[in-house]
Amino acid sequence: MSHTSPADTGADFGHGIARPRKHEEHTHLLPTASTAVSVQGVTKQFGSFTAVKDLDIEIRDGEFFSMLGPSGSGKTTVLRMIAGFENVTAGKIELHGNDVTNDAPFDREVNTVFQDYALFPHLTIAENVAYGLKVRKVAKAERDRLVAEALEQVQLAHVADRRPSQLSGGQRQRIALARALILRPRVLLLDEPLGALDKQLREQMQVELKQIQREVGITFIFVTHDQEEALTLSDRVAVFNNGKIEQVGSPREVYEFPQTEFVAKFLGVTNLLPAELSHELLGSAQTHSLRPERVHLVDPTAPEELGTVTLGGTIAEAVYAGPNTRYLIDTDGGERIIAEKHNSQTPSTVASAQRGDRVAVRFHRDHATPIPGADGTGAEQTAA
């Protein structure tokens, strides 16, 4: 039999009643186009409030694409419009070249995994995973085979007869993922699915989620406010702010080469060197982003090195964080610079530099990145 998407059953788990798809004979073929999702000039208004403003996104087939931003930035609203849970005020949404702007959720070849997982508490794990197949009236023998395969894929075949309440948060997350994938969606939408997990389990699930995405080979669109999570998982990241996208690029591009001050500040910690200081140190009258890991502490008497900038100063604060120590240095010129040192550089029996110590900070000029979207009026260091 051919495998259609969860949208074919209309199974909106936890968010409505399953309804039949209007094209029952639709076959699941690999797309010929390279674009899985196209959001074209989309605006979403809630009364007088504009949540999303004239947005354009092209998401590639088979891509792990993350939408990253603070609460209220519009990322979840965009995900819900792609899913069909929210209507578009203006603009168009296409899935694999088909205009779905006005289609109901069950007429779109997508499925969604939510933060609360939306598992049915009265059903066993196997019954939860099989739910969409049962609605689609797949024969029991075939249904059992597909469920066994899905549970094996997420390494939870041994919990098939348990109830959701008997599983850990990480296990429930994997079951929700198996239930969403069993119907072979062409696009899987994930709305902060790791948000309820503790840090250690969250990091473990990040690795597993990426591995599963590579195995199934379909497009994942992932919403998160966690910068590290987006950088870890994604092929590309769209950074949202106030209903618009500030920058789209690979994790390395958005981190190393931010195009706006917001991106530089939101993605971790940075030193923003205002235009006046940049002109003095770098010869370029433009705001620059300088990541703390690019700044090194050196002996104040150390000789200059070609292509570097060295500033004398005093350690205002030293924050030990296990693998790394972060230093806040007040330079002799009145600036505050953040430096970060990996503790592998210092034997564990040797104390690191402490508050009040005289040091020099040094960085290579090439590691200070100009920000095209900065206004040049100056900024300050920030930790997101």
Reported as a single tens digit per residue, the pLDDT across 11-45 is 333 333 233 333 333 333 343 448 999 999 999 99
How many structural domains is the chain composed of?
2
The predicted pLDDT at position 348 comes to 56
Confidence of residue 346 (pLDDT cuts 50, 70, 90): low
Q: What is the pLDDT of residue 103?
A: 95
Q: pLDDT at position 29, please?
A: 39
In a domain, 262, yes or no: no
State the average pLDDT over residues 288-304. 91
User: What is the percent of the chain with per-residue pLDDT over 90, rounded to a whole number?
Assistant: 60
Res 347: pLDDT: 58
**Is the confidence at residue 311, as pLDDT, over 60?**
yes
Residues 6+ apart with CB under 8 A from 318: 325, 326, 327, 328, 352, 353, 354, 355
Q: Which residue has the tokens 């292509």?
A: 307
Question: Are 69 and 168 part of one and the same domain?
Answer: yes
What pLDDT does residue 24 have? 36
Please tell me the distance from the alpha carbon of residue 120 to that of residue 370, in angstroms, as a whole number.
51
Residue ending a domain, among 217, 234, 256, is 256
Mode of pairing for the β-strands spanning 369-370 and 288-290: antiparallel
CB neighbour burial string for 286-299, b if at least 16 within 10 angstroms, e if fewer: bbbbbbbbbbbbee
| Closest to 78 in 3D by CA, of 189, 177, 173, 187 | 189
Q: pTM surpassing 0.85? A: no
303 and 371 assigned to the same domain: yes
**Alpha carbon distance 140, 245 (integer Å):** 46
- Out of 11-15, 170-174, 200-204, 224-228, pick the least confident: 11-15
**pLDDT tens digit sequence for 111-170:** 998 877 788 999 999 999 999 888 888 999 999 999 998 898 888 899 999 999 999 888
Residues 251 and 286 placed together within one structural domain of the fold: no
Could you tell me if 207 and 315 lie in one domain?
no
Residue 265 included in any domain? no
Q: What residues make up the domain containing 310?
A: 270-383
pLDDT at 85: 95
Regarding whether 294 and 218 lie in a shared domain, the answer is no
Is pLDDT above 60 for 350?
Answer: no
Domain C-terminal end among 256, 288, 316: 256
